[in-house]
Amino acid sequence: MIILTLNCGSSSAKYQVYDWEARDILAVGVVEKVTMKGSFISHEARGKPKYRLDYDCPNHTRAVDLIIKTLTDKEQGVLSDMSVIKAVGHRVVHGGDKFTKSVIINAEVMKTLEEVKALGPLHNPANIMGIEAARKVLPQALHCAIMDTAWHQTMPPASYLYALPYEWYEKYQVRRYGFHGTSFLYTAKRAAALLGQDPFNTNLIICHLGNGASVNAVKEGCSFDTSMGLTPLEGLVMGTRAGEADMAMPFYVMRKTGMSAADMENALNKKSGLLGITGQYADRRDIQQAKLAGDTRAELAQDMEAHRVKKYIGGYQAILGRVDALVFTAGVGEFAWFMREKILAGLEGTGLVYDPQKNALAHSRNGEFLISKPESRIPVYIIPTDEELVMTEDAYALMMGTYDTHTRFSYSFQQRDYVNKGRARDLKEDLAREPALASIIAQPQ
């Protein structure tokens, strides 16, 4: 049985093909610059060289069609025809407070997604277009919506409400929703497995650090608080997003400059964060190189990003009381040792004692690593996220009628002996290149 996952962003369409019986990935890829000039597909099938094709994709329907053609191509493909795909899991960034778990897509679900679309104006329109396009070209498959916000529906009112007129919440659903839910679900379950603990007796602080970034306080296995809010703009310093700032600042700048509300929204989401501070870089690798070359604004951007993450780690320690582990995940969390170093330095008094040598070794997406010193009261893990596997398992369970909220549902990856076959193969290659990696591989307790 084959399950396809799709993650359609405003200008991209990522995909993964999963063989359920073999419990293995057949292919992954992304169509980039959708709706823009110069669109192309990057495709990687198991046992085949990487493949790229320039292809005009003026809309997501064309992008999904290109994915289908690539997957069934005689040379590059992995499927004989698309009829073997039995389910499709679609990432939906914002489900509002209407969804507490993943759902089978039907007319009512689509209507609800349209109703909450205004809550996620940068992401949900693309998610919806991707769903509509896939349903047209894959009518035989069961289509499922996997909500980024569903994981956070366990937050208490004290965490998710803002100190704003209460009727705004009642009339307009103004509240904290949180995002990166599938990533936090995966890493929370994996952390509990590594700790040898019942997931619902585990308190964690998880730092999902990528171009978009957020921190999640997990209490007794459930989301308790998170840094992103009504939209993915709030919280940490991100690639191009400002994160938290004085709420009066936009009005001040708009009066000074004559900017419109749309101009300000665009500036806060696409021209701020690390890009705004450096003036030219949003990628942490570029910022690190610039810093090493003496760029003081690049160094300032790193310091600001680390400072903000530290504040959330400390704050979440206070509200959780007991913290069983700190977890880093996503692209920056998994690879950028220099950012982890800045974040962790000076936290010894809070029980977090990292090992600089172990931290510098950890730059692979194929292993789970422990980078704290033995005397650290709180272990520090790097756990590569796997949002696609969450989407795949949710879609399969929805198809089989066995799915439920994560508090009443068991995932394969929360088992102590879980192995990701693809990552295990690639880890062998990593170890051949860098044998010292073996010393930091996290062993289940």
Q: What domains are defined for the chain?
A: 2-147+390-413 (3.30.420.40), 196-383+418-440 (3.30.420.40)
Identity of the amino acid at 307: H
Angle, nearest 10°, between helix axes 60-71 and 124-137? Answer: 50
By annotation, the residues acting in catalysis are 148
Helix (H, G, I), strand (E, B) or coil at 295: coil
- Residue 58: name the closest of 42, 30, 72, 38 by CA: 38
* pLDDT for res 318: 97
DSSP string, 203-267: -EEEEEESSSEEEEEEETTEEEEES--SSTTSSS--SS---S--TTHHHHHHHHH---HHHHHHH
pLDDT at site 60: 83
- How high is the mean pLDDT in each 10-residue block of the chain (445 residues)? 89 91 93 88 92 90 90 91 92 88 94 85 83 90 95 97 97 94 97 97 97 96 97 94 96 97 94 96 94 97 98 98 97 95 96 97 94 97 96 96 94 93 92 95 92
Q: Residue 350's closest CA among 370, 380, 371, 330?
A: 380
Bridge partners (DSSP) of residue 17 are 4, 27
The burial of 401, by beta-carbon neighbours within 10 Å (0-12 exposed, 13-18 middle, 19 or more buried), is given as exposed
Name the pTM for this structure: 0.94
pLDDT for the residue numbered 196: 96
d(CA 152, CA 100): 8
Rg of the chain, C-alpha, whole Å: 21
Q: Which position has the token pair 């937050």?
A: 155
What's the confidence (pLDDT) of residue 11?
A: 77
Helix, strand, or coil here: 40? strand
CA distances in angstroms from 9 to 12, 52, 131, 183, 311, listed in the order given: 5, 19, 11, 16, 30
Rounded Cα distance between 41 and 36, Å, is 13
Angle at 212 between CA 210 and CA 214, to 5 degrees: 90
Rounded Cα distance, 339 and 359, in Å? 10
Q: Burial letters for 115-149: b for 16+ Cβ neighbours within 10 Å, e otherwise?
A: ebbebbebbbbbbbbbbbbbbeebeebbbbbbbbb
Asked if 67 contacts 123 with a C-beta cutoff of 8 angstroms, the reply is: no
CA torsion sign for 312, 205, 274, 35 is negative
pLDDT at 81: 84
